[in-house]
Amino acid sequence: MNINASIKKLINYGICTGLIDESDSVYTTNSIIEALGLDSYEEVSIDGESALCDILREITDYAVSKGLCEDSITYRDLFDTRIMGLLVPRPSEVIHQFNDLYKASPADATKWFYKLSGDSNYIRRDRIAKDKKWIYKSEYGYIDITINLSKPEKDPKAIAAAKNAPQSGYPKCALCRENEGYSGRINAPARQNHRIIPVTINQTQWYMQYSPYVYYNEHCIVFNSEHTPMKIDRTTFRKLLDFVELFPHYFVGSNADLPIVGGSILSHDHFQGGRYDFAMAKSPIETNITFDEFQDVEAGIVKWPMSTIRLRCSDSQRLVDLADKILGSWRVYTDADAFVFAETDGEKHNTITPIARMAYGKYELDLVLRNNITTSEHPLGVYHPHSELHHIKKENIGLIEVMGLAVLPARLSSELAELADAIVNKKDIYSIQSLAKHADWVAGFAHLYDITPENINSILEAEVGKVFAKVLEHAGVFKRNEEGQKAFLRFINQI
């Protein structure tokens, strides 16, 4: 193994991507050889370009061979992030460049920052490319389906080490600003190659970064400078609208602030946004509505499986005022006939998933009504995917999925491949342990198709899409039937 050649490849990569300047090459080389425990370096000539993942594999192979790094994906990730951190500009330089670009074009600034986040390997593009994606044409529009394969599974040794590792309160969570530049540990990812951009919304300090597991173009996370819990209130609407004023080419939304209907991190106030048009944003208003004292605000019920009120106005403060009024009304709203209860046994159930964007030259807010009540029949949530859909999707329905992008578990990749073979070869799916949970589902659609080896995968993709549309319908509080829509209007009329 010629480690000098690997170092040279990485230096060339840094120069080609703009992470470092030609004048930084000697300094950066010396930083890398120090990290590798070397005291000298021999310049070599390199023909052609290599993929970053291949370069880093060569370097971590060397580190493993020299005892600098254990041979597992967790330890390799910690080590190669340390190496990449040596090529990434300091935070002040990144902020300065971003602000300079922003003056001319917010879109150019975010495009540059997004590229930097990938070039630095903070977004591991080689892993993101493994995700499976397809489009399903539903009655609500074109829904995105993804099977997430980019999050590496920890090996048993790393899991055991994490269990026995001393607990640390630094950083307090994966979103805290203290992650920027952090070296990581066995139970927390390294972030030496991570950079964040300060933004001011509602006159408070927040930061913007990109998700390391991007689900769509320029998938960003906007987080509070303070480690404070998620909370949906009047200030949430103000912050969201301030953000789209700063970045009018982005949407931004917040997960709900209650378990089951909220996101995976409720301990740190944050939003998610990006440069992508989801099916929900493209869905039209199907029932126009008006609110007393807010005749200047365009409003209506969106044609969408989840119960959504859309507001649009050129004056963002009017949207804040009306959204706050709707939220306040929904928090305490009960309609037993529609099985909507604001509270049971002292536990509050009603909240909202809000999404902001610019549309037709005006500010736009989508307010998705959520309720997290559980019953003995539906212990994971009445307005949550029901048990008959758990073979495809059991996890919470958060912001991204509310908008029409399914994030399905990695297990489905192998299960669908095995299922395709079983269906084509007419195997008894009920008798196959790994596939038995899918058997009733397959029995429900297989007779509708003339199945061949050539079309089985497209059939499965379409049927998975149908299941996800049903998942969203289950998560909708007011169902899309006559009774449900009457109940929806009962709520609106009493606001």
| pLDDT per residue as tens digits for the range 227-253 | 999 999 999 999 999 999 999 999 999
Q: How far lies 119's CA from each of 51, 61, 275, 490, in Å?
A: 11, 21, 19, 52
Is the pLDDT at 153 greater than 60? The verdict is no
pTM over 0.85: yes
C-beta separation of 227 from 176 below 8 A? yes
Mean of all residue pLDDT scores within the chain: 95
Q: What are the b/e assignments for 427-462, b being 16+ CB within 10 Å?
A: eebeeeeebeebbebbeeeeeeeebeeeebeebbeb
CA distance 159 to 396: 24
Confidence bin at 322 (pLDDT 50/70/90): very high
Q: What is the mean pLDDT of residues 136-165?
A: 76
Q: For the segment 405-445, what is each residue's pLDDT rounded down to a tens digit?
A: 999 999 999 999 999 999 999 999 999 999 999 999 999 99
For 175, the 3-state DSSP assignment is coil
- Model pLDDT for residues 32-46, shown as the tens digit of each residue: 999 999 999 999 988
Q: Which two tokens stand for residue 491?
A: 């709520």
Residue type, 34: E
Which pLDDT band holds residue 47 (cuts at 50, 70, 90)?
A: confident
CA proximity to 245, closest of 382, 99, 338, 356: 356
User: How much of the chain, in percent, has pLDDT values that exceed 90?
Assistant: 92
Write down the pLDDT at residue 72.
Answer: 93
Model pLDDT, residue 154:
53
Band (264; pLDDT cuts 50, 70, 90) = confident
Mean pLDDT of 381-402: 95
Per-residue pLDDT at 156 exceeds 80: no
Report in angstroms the alpha-carbon separations of 99 from 103, 114, 158, 239.
6, 14, 40, 20
Which tens digit of pLDDT belongs to each residue from 440-459? 999 999 999 999 999 999 99
The yes-or-no verdict on residue 167 having pLDDT over 70 is: no
Task: Report pLDDT digits (tens) over 192-227.
Answer: 999 999 999 999 999 999 999 999 999 999 999 999
The share of the chain scoring above pLDDT 70, in percent, equals 96
Residue 184, both tokens: 């990581």
pLDDT band at residue 161 using 50, 70 and 90 as cut-offs: low
